[in-house]
Amino acid sequence: MSAEVICVGTELLLGDILNSNSQYLAKELAALGVPHFYQTVVGDNVDRVHQAIEIAATRSSIIIFTGGLGPTPDDLTTESIASYFNTPLVEFPEVIADIEHKFAQHGRKMTPSNRKQALQPAGAALLPNPTGTAPGMIWQPREGLTIFTFPGVPREMHRMWRDTAVSFLKTQGYGQNPIYSRSLRFFGIPEAALAEKVNHLFNSTNPTVAPYAGKGEVRLRISARAANEAEANALIEPIVQEIKQIAGVDYYGTDEDTLASVVGQLLKAQGQTLSVAESCTGGGLGQMLTDIPGSSEYFLGGIISYADRIKIDLLGVNSEDLATEGAVSQTVARQMAVGVKAKLGTDWGVSITGIAGPGGGTECKPVGLVYIGIADPDGGVEGIKYQLGSQRERELIRHMSASQCLNLLRQRIRI
């Protein structure tokens, strides 16, 4: 009794659109405890959609389609499904009425091509679309097989899934033993090193522990199948506590936490404020901080001191130190942090200066060399050197620089 996801759209195969629908559905199916082993992306072609159905119908009892429900000629999902099962399409008058009403709300008339969206296989049930013009369907063309169709627009698909599909699946007996998960987040430790420390937990079957890595941080997802959330938490919590004990300071948060949100929580708890001075990151650190709602309570602002003149004029960096040691140096990072702290009147001041590449590196100062400065509330200041790798792309070096700065600040506030 497993589910399979088939995403239809040539634009997905060309990489023009990020396929976020498959990720969303995977999480939702897991939350319902529906086994899910396969995903397919197929272009707008009837024969290829038929081939995808042929394979999926032999191994899955639920097939979920997204995309290809629009009014244009290349929107072929519904007719492809109907023709595969040799079933005629019939027009649903209530869909025509709904589309006409939605057009009228915007002072427009329904175009003739939109009538196509009212066609569904005979015997199918409508899956209403409250926000768009393309309804989906719930259809059981033969015993033991259920087909769902959704538009490719994520906002519409999410709403339709929540409003109709979930309740239908629950009436079919799904959702009795859903999977509950918690993700623990780590920064400053490689995936392999963390995996070695918690290797004995990977053999657990309920809950399970699985590692994921990306952009300098690692996640451990602990998942448990249980009748309800309380039972799942009883299984998950002992594993969580053991991992936190093992990981120590490398653990920084859970689930939707980010380094920026955790730093914000710490600053609020201490009643302290922060300002930033950025060179190579060009405002990326400030963006991370202001992505957090309510960050104005503790983050007062920043200075993007890309040019040396700005470092001197606004941050008070010593021109002789710039000339002798260069902008990418521990001395300049320290002075930038002190300068922004004084200029904006905050408890903490942090700075980033480095070489993001791809050019500009030398043998002594290669691409990926970064210095981070931290000026603390007690008048202390330090400059930390990082070598983030000369082969990394510019944007990744900038992202890692800002992340390292937040992680260093997190550790200093906690002391």
Q: Which residue has the higher pLDDT, 31 or 377?
A: 377
pLDDT of residue 108: 93
At position 374, the amino acid (one-letter code) is I
pLDDT of residue 193: 95
- Alpha carbon distances (Å) from 276 to 84, 93, 155, 182: 60, 60, 36, 32
At 320, list the tokens.
């002789």
Following DSSP, what letter does each residue of 58-99 receive, concatenated?
A: TT-SEEEEES--SSSTT--HHHHHHHHTT--EEE-HHHHHHH
Q: Measuring CA to CA, which residue among 40, 23, 36 is closest to residue 62?
A: 36
What number is the average pLDDT over the span 249-274? 97
> Do the Cβ atoms of 134 and 156 come closer than 8 Å?
yes
Question: Roughly how many angstroms between the first and final C-alpha of the chain, as a whole number?
Answer: 52
* Residue 218: band (very low, low, confident or very high) from pLDDT cuts 50, 70, 90: very high
SS3 state at 257: coil
Q: Measuring CA to CA, which residue among 13, 38, 15 is closest to residue 25?
A: 38
202 Cβ neighbours under 8 A, 6+ residues apart: 195, 209, 210
* Residue 33: band (very low, low, confident or very high) from pLDDT cuts 50, 70, 90: confident
Give pTM, 2 decimals. 0.82
Between CA 88 and CA 57 the distance in angstroms is: 19
pLDDT of residue 1: 75
pLDDT of residue 392: 79
- Alpha carbon distances (Å) from 58 to 47, 62, 147: 17, 11, 13
CATH class as words, domain 179-254: alpha beta
- What residues does each domain of the chain span? 3-171, 179-254, 259-414
pLDDT tens-place string over residues 334-383: 999 999 999 999 999 999 999 999 999 999 999 999 999 999 999 999 99
The third-level CATH classification (topology) of the domain covering 3-171 is Molybdenum Cofactor Biosythetic Enzyme; Chain A (3.40.980)
pLDDT tens-place string over residues 146-180: 999 999 999 999 999 999 999 999 999 888 778 89
Between CA 338 and CA 350 the distance in angstroms is: 8
**Region 259-414: CATH code:** 3.90.950.20
> Do the Cβ atoms of 332 and 326 come closer than 8 Å?
yes
SS3 state at 201: helix
- Alpha carbon distances (Å) from 294 to 261, 288, 402, 412: 10, 13, 20, 22
Is residue 207 reached through a cis peptide bond, with omega within 30 degrees of 0 on the bond before it? yes
Residue with tokens 């400059």: 383
Between CA 265 and CA 350 the distance in angstroms is: 17
Between CA 389 and CA 374 the distance in angstroms is: 22
Residue with tokens 């400053």: 188
Give the helix/strand (H/E) hosting 259.
helix 259-270
Between CA 184 and CA 246 the distance in angstroms is: 12
pLDDT at position 214 over 90 = no
Between CA 221 and CA 354 the distance in angstroms is: 34
pLDDT tens-place string over residues 315-340: 999 999 999 999 999 999 999 999 99
Between CA 395 and CA 393 the distance in angstroms is: 6
- Alpha carbon distances (Å) from 43 to 73, 77, 148: 13, 10, 18
Following DSSP, what letter does each residue of 275-339 receive, concatenated?
A: EEEESTTTTHHHHHHHTSTTGGGTEEEEEE--SHHHHHHHH---HHHHHHH-SSSHHHHHHHHHH
At 147, list the tokens.
């087909």
> What percentage of the chain carries pLDDT values higher than 70?
100
Between CA 177 and CA 228 the distance in angstroms is: 7
